[in-house]
A and B are shown apart, each in its own frame.
Chain A
Amino acid sequence: GNSVTQMEGPVTLSEEAFLTINCTYTATGYPSLFWYVQYPGEGLQLLLKATKADDKGSNKGFEATYRKETTSFHLEKGSVQVSDSAVYFCALSDQGRDDKIIFGKGTRLHILP
């Protein structure tokens, strides 16, 4: 079945460091791919998305490119801030009848000032 694998955390970086959170997927067909972010004590927020191969999603300085050849959707940011500390979930849409979203396990990010 469809699945998402993302790097284990926690990831700890200093402010202004470069961030990469790896995400790979297994899917039949052509799923849409997402990154969601969950700040402490809050619900999930859609951070960015890509709907087809080679699409680049971007938002708030974060970027991810839909790579079909490597089945990857890695999240990157050039210079992280303390306010980016959160849990990041990679996800794909299971575009069958069910309209399900399949989440990775999440990666906790800590940014040190």
Chain B
Amino acid sequence: DTEVTQTPKHLVMGMTNKKSLKCEQHMGHRAMYWYKQKAKKPPELMFVYSYEKLSINESVPSRFSPECPNSSLLNLHLHALQPEDSALYLCASSSRSLLGYEQYFGPGTRLTVT
């Protein structure tokens, strides 16, 4: 099973709202990622968690706050977003092996900020 699930599928929020995106995987992967994807662009890395610790923050504004409660779950807390934050938010997970590794992506959450 190579499934990464994300909820909700769609989210519309105002600039003063607080909401959270959720991601779950049961593949035993110890690295999890948040990406932002704008239309007709490749995904842009936001955060990386490795063994439940934040290992990379790609200079993401503080209105995005990641959380990794356990090895299977990854959250992205949203607060005071701007309209330009509207995008597809993708979660991914990966595990290393001697042959290299690959990332498995969820279906994404389509976020609209009004």
Give residues in A with beta carbon < 8 Å to B: 32, 34, 36, 42-46, 49, 51, 89, 93, 95, 97-101, 103-106, 108
Contacts and interface: CB of A to CB of B under 8 A. Distances in A.
A93 B101 contact: yes
Interface stretch (B14-22, B39-47, B64-72, B76-84): B39-47
Contacts of B101: 32, 93, 99
Given A99-B94, A106-B41, A42 B99 contact: no
A45 B105 contact: yes
B75 interface: no
A99 B48 contact: yes
A79 B92 CA distance: 31
B92 to A, nearest CB: 8
Contacts of B88: 43
A93 B99 CA distance: 12
Contact of A101 (B6, B40, B103): B103
Interface band, chain B = 20 to 34
Nearest to A100: B45
A89 B105 CA distance: 13
B47 to A, nearest CB: 12
Nearest to B56: A98
Contact of B99 (A46, A51, A89, A100): A51
A105 B42 contact: yes
A49 B106 CA distance: 18
B90 A44 contact: yes
A106 B31 contact: no
A45 B90 CA distance: 12
Contacts of B40: 106, 108
Given A34-B102, A99-B48, A99-B50, A42 B42 contact: no
19 contacts: A32-B99, A32-B100, A32-B102, A43-B88, A43-B90, A43-B105, A43-B108, A44-B90, A45-B105, A46-B2, A46-B104, A46-B105, A49-B100, A51-B100, A93-B102, A99-B31, A99-B48, A99-B94, A106-B40
